[in-house]
Structure 1
Amino acid sequence: MTDTLTPPRESAAPPRTSVVRTELRRGVGPWTGAAVAVTLLVTMYGKAPGWQGRWTDATDMLHVATGMLAGPLALAAGCWQGGRDRRRGTLELLRSVPRGRLRRQLLAVAPSALWPVAGQLCAAAVCLLAGVWPYVSGGRPYLELVAADAVALASLGTLGHLAGQVVPWRLTAPLLAVVGYVGLGIGAYSPTSVRWLSPAAEHSFAWDKPLWWYAPASAAWTGGLGLAALVAYAARPARLRLLAVVPLALALTAAGAILRLPEHGPWRPDPEAARLVCDGGSPQVCLTSVDRALLPDVSRALAPLNERLRGLPGAPTRWVGGPTGALPGDVGLPGADQDVARGRLVHPERYANSAAQWLFSDTCRPGDFTGPDAERTSLVNLAVVEWLAPAPPGYGADTTGAQMYIARLKAMSPAEQRAYLTRYLAADTCRPEEVPIP
């Protein structure tokens, strides 16, 4: 009986997923993702009172922080990662691997492109789910803009990686971060529509919504540039480099559409977000739909002020917050961003004092509010505001000079106070001689 010799089995090729996983663990990629997440979370935490009550504010803050801080970080980390193989002399070893050049380059770029995106998406998820969702009144998060920011971050990481492979100088990475920060900042604050090409352009109105095509166009613009540079660098033979024209043409087409936007960019008024929600008081307090959770707090804060104004000729019929056009008798409410935290009005006295100031904030023409009575009238105005809605300690203007008028107002009977306030509301505060003295 003879033994049958069994030929040894050929070792199976490693799965493609394990190759990608191995590449992702190389170099500074994981540290870059962690640095991006921490940078965004720390920045968002420092600005938390300004964005926790509205989806739009949170998305805008994430957008600016991603572009201005995470973008240069991705550039620098990608550059360092790209120069790592050249500095270690392993490029020739990588070229000996039986894979196409473009495939090898895609695997090499993966840590620089994907880890910053992972950090950004983790930070965005924490901010939106833990920082906004429990306190928001209405609307929706613009996740398409978050996705467009992720594409921009991946593109910046790719461009940085390629720069590191081309320029092996160790100081290239920090210099690229500085250049990226300055360039993104200049683009973001340009007075023209060029600003909307920047992945850090700022928008500040909570009652707007973006055009449906802006996020895809922005992703095509930034992603097309990174993909074109990658194909142009890695494609072999040389004739395949012409394929870079396709993503480049897509990027330029998207940029052309964005550049045709008007000065206010891709944002348009959202009627549902700006819809007024009012209480049943007199005067009424009306806030926009996105701020309707604040309505009970604002109504309570303005209740003492409304009690003094109720029924007086010239008093407001509604306090209105938001972008809506004013009707006769409407008085605008000040922005509550500095007095709101986690969807609650935390400084009601300060907010009521600001509302009283807005009630008497007439826009005077040049030449008005002059003459010998101007200084005295300023003190009277200050006294009326302080009497209607006293400012908390340490806030508001110095009322030392107005204490005499405040004392006179407090010493009046309720009927005398209402009579004086009626005369004060009827006067033109831009003309000092018409303002009655208590």
Structure 2
Amino acid sequence: MTATATPPREAVGPPRTSVLRAELRRGAGPWVGAAVAVTILVTMYGKAPDWQSRWTDATDTLHVATGLLAGPLALAAGCWQGGRERRRGTLELLRSVPRGRLRRTLLAVAPSALWPAAGQLLATAVCLLATWPYVGGGRPYLELVAADAVALAALGTLGHLVGLLVPWRLTAPLLAVAGYAGLGIGAYTESAARWLSPAAEHSSPWDEPVWWFAPASAVWTGGLALAALLAYAARPARLRLLALLPLAAAVAAAVPVLRLPDEGPWRPDHEASRPVCDSGTPQVCVPALDRGLLPDISRTLAPLNERLRGLPGAPVRWVGGPNGPGAGETELPDPSLDAVRGRLRNPDLYLNSAVQWLFSETCRSEDFAGPEVERLGEVHLAVSEWLAPTPEGYGVPVGPSTERHLDALRAKSPAAQRDYLARYLAADRCRPEEVPIP
């Protein structure tokens, strides 16, 4: 019997997963992922008071930071990684390896595509975990987070291909500058094409994206990168026609985006703006998105509501959100302007702002005129300071006339103060001569 020789294990090529792991570990890939994560986290940390109380604010800010800052970084890092073998003089050696050009290119591109996306996902997870304890409602748009990860991978891939084709050492920094300018200009153009940019900004907390926008965005950016990759690496030449498939998919995904109306892919989120109210009088109602702030707002408005309770002309409800007040209601100041981590940062200032909203009027210029206007301003400021003094460091100094009105209010008995406030609320503040003097 003839024995069959078994080749030694060393002659068997390593599994593809082992080759991919080795490729991901070499070069600057891990450092690029870390740089992307740090860039996003540092940017988000500096803006934490603006986003840490709402899921929508967190994901919107993450989207802009990813596209506008991490995007150019992924481009430049991919370009540097793509030119690595040419700089080392090992390009011809790699071409002699018994692997197809497409497989070889895919393995080489993997760090440029996967590490920026991994850094972005890590930074996003940290920011969402930092938001979770303080939000009152809504949800993070995880589908947009996934689309942003695809966009970063696509930018890293495109940068890698540029590095393979252009050996100049300054290509990477110049590509980063061009990418920043291109993404910025594309994000702030007035046409619907801005929604094709990975850095397009949207800042309304009362909207949600249409269901198909995130998948279309991922197909758009991923399709362009895959088409460029196949056009470069597919061999023989006839296989380059395969690049037309992802290119066609990208164009097909872009068409509905380009046909969006002025408001873009965003639609009103009725659940986020649904009113949630306390049991006080006057009632305090905030949108469901800010329900976590309701106890704080109710506690802040309690002294003012105590004085308004039962008075004719007092509001029936304080309401917040995008729908505006109805009959007998008064609009609340936007709590997000003063809220940090689910709490009002300056309750006294919020109370003072609520008083200003209570007394605000929309007057025609022909009615709001005459010598009594200055007196009305003095009386208005005195009543506002009496109900909710302006915190130190805000507002304008109180003049002598206003101080006299304020002293007169403070000197009245509680019953007289209540009577005067009822008369002040009932007066037409667009007609200064009808406003009573304390």
Q: Shorter-chain TM-score category?
A: over 0.9
| Count of residues in Structure 1 that have an aligned counterpart in Structure 2 | 434
Shift of 1:18: 1.5
Asked whether 1:82 is paired with 2:82, we answer yes
Shift of 1:290: 1.8
Q: Give CA-to-partner distance per residue, 1:163-201, whole Å, 9 cap, x none.
A: 112222222211211221122112222222222111112
* Contact 1:279–1:299 under 8 Å retained in 2: yes
Instruction: State the distance in 1 between where 2:357 and 2:296 align.
Output: 19
Q: Which residue of 1 aligns with 2:305?
A: 306
Q: Which residue of 2 aligns with 1:272?
A: 271
Of residues 144-153 and 72-81 in structure 1, the stretch that sits farther from structure 2 once superposed is 72-81
Q: Which residue of 2 aligns with 1:332?
A: 331
Q: Which residue of 2 aligns with 1:196?
A: 195
Q: Which residue of 2 aligns with 1:151?
A: 150
Shift of 1:278: 0.6
Of residues 184-193 and 64-73 in structure 1, the stretch that sits farther from structure 2 once superposed is 184-193
Asked whether 1:381 is paired with 2:383, we answer no
Q: Give CA-to-partner distance per residue, 1:230-262, whole Å, 9 cap, x none.
A: 111111222221111111111111111111111
Q: Give CA-to-partner distance per residue, 1:103-161, whole Å, 9 cap, x none.
A: 111111111111111100001111112x1222222222211110000001111111111
- Percent identical across equivalent pairs? 73
TM, length-normalised to structure 1: 0.94
**Structure 1 residue matching 2:267: 3-state secondary structure:** strand
Shift of 1:325: 4.5
Instruction: State the distance in 1 between where 2:433 and 2:199 align.
Output: 50
Tell me: CA distance 1:351–1:199, structure 2 relative to 1, closer, same or farther (3 Å): same
Of residues 200-209 and 272-281 in structure 1, the stretch that sits farther from structure 2 once superposed is 200-209
Q: Which residue of 2 aligns with 1:40?
A: 40
Kindly report the root-mean-square deviation, in angstroms, between the aligned alpha carbons of the 2 structures: 1.9
Instruction: State the distance in 1 between where 2:184 and 2:127 align.
Output: 23
* Contact 1:235–1:241 under 8 Å retained in 2: yes
Asked whether 1:207 is paired with 2:206, we answer yes
Q: Which residue of 1 aligns with 2:103?
A: 103
* Contact 2:53–2:336 under 8 Å retained in 1: no
Tell me: CA distance 1:114–1:319, structure 2 relative to 1, closer, same or farther (3 Å): same
Shift of 1:40: 1.0
Instruction: State the distance in 2 between where 1:112 and 1:174 align.
Output: 16
Q: Which residue of 2 aligns with 1:406?
A: 406
After TM superposition, what 4+ stretches of structure 1 lie above 4 angstroms from structure 2?
Answer: 4-8
* Contact 1:49–1:337 under 8 Å retained in 2: no
Q: How does 1:351-362 map to 2 (within 5 A)?
A: 351-362=350-361
Of residues 310-319 and 367-376 in structure 1, the stretch that sits farther from structure 2 once superposed is 367-376
Q: Which residue of 1 aligns with 2:241?
A: 242
**Structure 2 residue matching 1:196: 3-state secondary structure:** helix
Instruction: State the distance in 1 between where 2:427 and 2:75 align.
Output: 61
**Structure 2 residue matching 1:45: 3-state secondary structure:** helix
For structure 1, the 5+ residue unaligned runs are none
* Contact 1:49–1:338 under 8 Å retained in 2: no
Q: Give CA-to-partner distance per residue, 1:54-93, whole Å, 9 cap, x none.
A: 2111111111111111111111111111122222222212
Q: How does 1:153-302 map to 2 (within 5 A)?
A: 153-302=152-301
Instruction: State the distance in 2 between where 1:172 and 1:374 align.
Output: 65
Instruction: State the distance in 1 between where 2:6 and 2:248 align.
Output: 54
TM, length-normalised to structure 2: 0.94
